[in-house]
Structure 1
């Protein structure tokens, strides 16, 4: 029997008691169980606490944080401060996912196979339909192909291809002009891939890195792109991997999300912040491409007003993106956290 390192699981939650319970039920079915489960609750009510009290979850520790510690990045930092001293790996999960029963076993085994790993991510398997293809397969412009697998490409990426604005990096790596393809563009191959970005709600890291790194409190509340910021900083110090065999499903619970105007504004401002984490001194070409893609995506969101039934959603998000872009001329985000 292979001994894997002791590990802690941190779940930050906000007003999602039922999705959280569904996740915890899938944790109970794991072939490898966490040495401790830390629930860091930022909810203003006690519904999550009450639900956990009537369900017996082994090794669970519940923390309800005050206002000063609310928000995704602050709650993660709070959870890290409470991790058992004997833990070697710290895992993070969003509160609206459900795990395959070998998720932790596959995830933790990656550290044995790749002892240089500072972090390892899991794989969301319920959001994209992939198809295996021959190695000589030539994809159409409406398809994305990687490592012998293909998927339908989003209309945004199709348009970017036509305008020569597509990412020039493999999935999980950020181009010098940012706007790359996320780890969601890695196929369900059961392989492990090296990356420089992990999705925070499906991630794990060696506990030792938290002596040097913490999650940036620049990202308030919902914390859009906080995971990109953190993993890009860590990747400058060592290797990160994503194991597609460590699978789970993501169900995108609607509660706890920001309004669409704030979301649109965050997309642009937080996106700019993360871009400068990777490339603090961009060349003219990098600047041109970042701005061109940002404007293009905003224009596409405005055009969705004509095609979507709920026209308020794309309109308010597009307005948020527009305001976010203009705000960069007068008030650029300041990186006060990089270590």
Structure 2
């Protein structure tokens, strides 16, 4: 493990829940980095001792393990718990989901971005094993079933094709939320090796200047699994400064199943948390924005119901669709606040 000269001190926070083998795999990829963290904080919400035991058996430099009490369990609570315990000299705070494996120069690419863009308050990495893009160059006229951005194209899913036909497609580039939300995530950015300005990042592959946490924390509205907590937080950060995604800071995300909610609860969270994030972006939406948000929400729910007959995971599709339906109806008498 060879460390080149660096000018920014940085802390790595890994929040985990019942995934000891995933944490070990991630830490082994951290150990191979060309730039190693000044400290690693494992914030463990597990209800057993398996993660603690595996870290006792496998030692890593500068690692600090914290088993959080029950009242601090949940992704956003655990992140805030970790932030309170970083070293006072840390300039950058990095977050990684526990089911990730890094390319060897991930941190080096990430920190170099802060030097190239000194105004950056946050920088995100790029999940390369979820990219479905193909380089086609410019000029290029995309087909109806294609999404085109910066010389790269990818096939559109059925939901985006339908939204285009119904005039409900997002009017923003990837990483930005429209006034009626339902935009394209940074996952739609191409693997170009470039750095793109955004207003939203994925929390599990993110980093921020430590000064951000003097005024902002992760919202505890997002309980447990914390779906869309990253969109909420980064939208709030982008209101006070600039955010970027460096597609040269590469990693793989393997989506471990353990620790995830059931499909019904997931469906409810998609709608209710989505409404919450929409209002963070646009607290006073116009009538047109309201109509579009609800129209897209209903359309996506209908598509999920049809997946009951078009996919092999019929039960999961049906229960998620029911959860989305109940989540939408609940907005009429119990809006998130």
Q: Is TM more than 0.5 here?
A: yes
The aligned counterpart of 1:215 is 218
1:322 is paired with a residue of what secondary structure? helix
- Alignment partners' CA distance in 2, 1:328 and 1:165: 21
Alignment of 1:73-84 (within 5 A): 73-84=76-87
| Aligned mate of 1:226, from 212, 229, 243 | 229
1:236 aligns with 2:239: yes
| Aligned mate of 2:248, from 238, 245, 248 | 245
Answer yes or no: is the 8 Å Cα contact 2:9–2:90 preserved in 1: yes
- Alignment partners' CA distance in 2, 1:8 and 1:78: 14
Answer yes or no: is the 8 Å Cα contact 1:4–1:109 preserved in 2: no
Answer yes or no: is the 8 Å Cα contact 2:174–2:183 preserved in 1: yes
Give the CA deviation at 1:152.
1.2
Alignment of 1:123-272 (within 5 A): 123-272=126-275
The aligned counterpart of 2:317 is 314
- Alignment partners' CA distance in 2, 1:33 and 1:3: 10
Answer yes or no: is the 8 Å Cα contact 2:170–2:178 preserved in 1: yes
Answer yes or no: is the 8 Å Cα contact 2:147–2:155 preserved in 1: yes
- Alignment partners' CA distance in 1, 2:191 and 2:56: 37
- Alignment partners' CA distance in 1, 2:293 and 2:180: 5
Structure 2: gaps spanning 5 or more residues: none
1:49-103 alpha-carbon deviations (Å, 9 max, x no partner): 0001000111110000011000000000000000000100000000000000000
- Alignment partners' CA distance in 1, 2:106 and 2:166: 39
What's the Cα RMSD here?
0.7
The aligned counterpart of 2:15 is 12
Using the size of structure 2 for normalisation, the TM-score is 0.98
- Alignment partners' CA distance in 2, 1:217 and 1:41: 17
- Alignment partners' CA distance in 2, 1:103 and 1:68: 33
Give the CA deviation at 1:2.
5.5
1:101-128 alpha-carbon deviations (Å, 9 max, x no partner): 0000000110000000000000000012
Structure 1: gaps spanning 5 or more residues: 335-339
Answer yes or no: is the 8 Å Cα contact 1:172–1:195 preserved in 2: yes
1:122 is paired with a residue of what secondary structure? strand
- Alignment partners' CA distance in 2, 1:327 and 1:8: 40
- Alignment partners' CA distance in 2, 1:72 and 1:129: 28
1:278 aligns with 2:310: no
1:126 is paired with a residue of what secondary structure? helix
1:281 is paired with a residue of what secondary structure? coil
- Alignment partners' CA distance in 2, 1:211 and 1:308: 47
The aligned counterpart of 1:337 is none
- Alignment partners' CA distance in 1, 2:319 and 2:60: 41
1:1-31 alpha-carbon deviations (Å, 9 max, x no partner): 7633000000000000111111000000000
Answer yes or no: is the 8 Å Cα contact 1:99–1:249 preserved in 2: yes
1:195-253 alpha-carbon deviations (Å, 9 max, x no partner): 00010000000000101000000000000000000000010000000000000000000
1:133-186 alpha-carbon deviations (Å, 9 max, x no partner): 120111111111100011111111111111111100010000000000000000
| Aligned mate of 1:113, from 94, 113, 116 | 116
Alignment of 1:319-334 (within 5 A): 319-334=322-337
1:266-307 alpha-carbon deviations (Å, 9 max, x no partner): 000000000000000000110010000000000000000001
The aligned counterpart of 1:64 is 67
2:11 is paired with a residue of what secondary structure? strand
Answer yes or no: is the 8 Å Cα contact 1:10–1:92 preserved in 2: yes
- Alignment partners' CA distance in 2, 1:267 and 1:132: 32
Give the CA deviation at 1:130.
1.5
| Aligned mate of 1:287, from 290, 308, 315 | 290
- Alignment partners' CA distance in 2, 1:306 and 1:117: 46
